[in-house]
Amino acid sequence: MPTDERPDRRWPADERLAVELIARTDYGRVATSMRAMPFLAFARHIVVDGRVLLRMPLNCGYHLACAGSVVAYGTDNLSCARRGEGLWSVQIVGRCEPVEPTAAELELFGPAPPLVDGAPYEPVYLGIEPQFASVNSTDGDAGGHLSPVL
């Protein structure tokens, strides 16, 4: 939904933190189910106006299970935290829908890989409107509860 059509959101601090933390990373994992079996798939993401946009490989078909479903999307700094930096993990939960990114959004995604699983990379784009957010951290300051996004 274009920015000017989105409802005004006044998010509690924890939910803002969740979206801000997602914006600090480039990749995450989307969780949903396919044929009643849970699965995780990697995705490149950007954050635009509080919404998380995903770029996934078309040839894997994971977008078919995500589009129109409620999904969880998470990322963390577990592999990139510097010595002395607190560890954190974040997830959002919300409805996932196909999107057509703008030229500016496509630029934010950056270059796509040439291949995925040996096949030429063809992207598909999805958007998640966060409804719930969860943040966990080792510095004791981020909480650890699942909160609705207002």
pLDDT tens figures, 84-136: 888 999 999 999 999 999 999 999 999 999 999 999 999 999 999 999 899 98
Burial of 45 (0-12, 13-18, 19+ CB in 10 A): buried
Q: Which residue has the higher pLDDT, 37 or 97?
A: 97
Phi and psi at residue 44, to the nearest 5°: -85, 140
Rounded to two decimals, the pTM is: 0.84
8 has a pLDDT exceeding 50: no
Q: Is the dihedral of CA 128, 130, 133, 138 positive or negative?
A: positive
Minimal CA–CA distance to 145: which of 77, 94, 96, 91? 91
> Can you list the alpha helix ranges (DSSP code H) found in 9-61?
13-23
* Average predicted confidence (pLDDT) for the chain: 85
What is residue 75's DSSP assignment? E
